[in-house]
Chains A and B, each alone.
Chain A
Amino acid sequence: MALARVVDLEGSGPRLPGAAMAVAEDGEVAGSVSGGCVEGAVVVEALEVLATGERRMVAFGYSDDEAFAVGLTCGGTIHLFLEPLDW
């Protein structure tokens, strides 16, 4: 299982630091880290973390030039820490 946690927030964001989401190897998900904007992308990142065993920081923000890219629509940026639940 991998754990993704909101650790930092810049500007407006739906969830405060501490919001967390767990992703199992089979893709089963519990919890959430935003208002549903980035969860799909977090699952992909979490499965990579499970595959490699490597921890990582991931940021999601809003970008004007990539209107269809994954991001928060509210204008803020969230920083997530992803790690395997191996502790």
Chain B
Amino acid sequence: MSDEMDGLFDRFAGLLADEIPCALATVVDGPGVGQKLLVRRTHRDGHEVDGTLGDDDLDRVVTRDALGELSAGRSGVRHYGERGEARENAVSVFIESFAAPPRMLVFGAVDFTAALVRVAKVLGYRITVCDAREVFATRQRFPLADEVVVDWPDRLLAQVGPDLRRRDAVCVLTHDVKFDVPAIVGALATAVGYIGVMGSRRTHADRLGRLREAGVTDEAIARLRSPIGLDIGARTPEETAISIVSEIIALRTGRSAQALSTTDGPIHD
């Protein structure tokens, strides 16, 4: 191993501990097998590189590809020439992305929220619970949440909304039109992939009317998962939480959410 790799694992572990997104590229076949490059973004256009794959040109090309893979949250093997040439096979490099965890915003500090926080934490979400009522939005009630914010949904969304992406989720569990209409309108203004809204069919019908009054288009309304969750007959907060995260997964993968025993075809894509 070259000197540049001394202590690389410790620096890599440090980034992971601090939840700093990074990509680790390792030569898995070809000259310099085992050589590594650790790449991370420093600000919008900048990046920092640690280690080497053994050739400056190869380092440059792999750095570019690793930043791309990191943005997409993908990991996989890529092939290059010894100096990073495209369409050559001399060197195989495994690029592993360690992206920031997906975010979940939960509006409404109710018992369903507590169960959803527990279940979503298992899936690795970074979770923010938001409610304008100070007595309910407490750390004690949601010990696993990464953040508990006492504020109005539209104000929180104005702040964090621009960072939300397809893999993130917004769950509106407030049951109160004062909160849920601004939360939904705010969430629809973002690129978030999942917007689920809790309520009975009657609440849902009533809410649609209020959203249309607020100027929300049918196209935007079609993005909503309301009533929230898959039809698994969930009754308790915990069961409801499972039905919500199952819907989030099925929406992301585009799968039918049928029992596998009643379908055929591949189980994973």
Q: Which residues of A contact B (CB under 8 A)?
A: 5, 7-8, 12-13, 16-18, 55, 57, 79, 81, 83, 85-87
B75 touches A57 (CB 8 A): no
A57 touches B36 (CB 8 A): no
B34 touches A87 (CB 8 A): yes
Known contacts A5-B94, A17-B76, A55-B33; A81/B28 CB under 8 A: yes
Residues of chain B in range 1-22 having any CB-CB distance to chain A below 8 Å:
1, 5-6, 8-9
A-B contact count (CB 8 A): 42
How far apart sit A60 and B5, CA to CA, in the bound complex (Å)? Answer: 29
**Contacting residue for B34 out of A5, A13, A16, A55, CB 8 A:** A55
Kindly provide the distance from the CB of B34 to the nearest chain A CB, expressed in whole angstroms.
5
Kindly report which residue of chain A lies nearest to residue B36, judged by CB atoms: A87
Q: Which of B1, B5, B268 neighbours the largest number of chain A CB atoms within 10 Å of its CB?
A: B268
Q: Which residues of B contact A (CB under 8 A)?
A: 1, 5-6, 8-9, 26, 28-29, 33-34, 36, 75-77, 94, 96-97, 266-268
Kindly report which residue of chain A lies nearest to residue B35, judged by CB atoms: A87
Q: Which of B6, B29, B94 neighbours the largest number of chain A CB atoms within 10 Å of its CB?
A: B94
- Since A79-B77, A81-B94, A83-B34 are in contact, a sample of 9 more A-B pairs with Cβ atoms closer than 8 Å, ordered by chain A residue number, is A12-B267, A17-B75, A18-B75, A57-B28, A57-B29, A81-B26, A81-B28, A85-B9, A87-B9
Residues of A within 8 A of B5 (CB): 87
Residues of B within 8 A of A57 (CB): 28-29
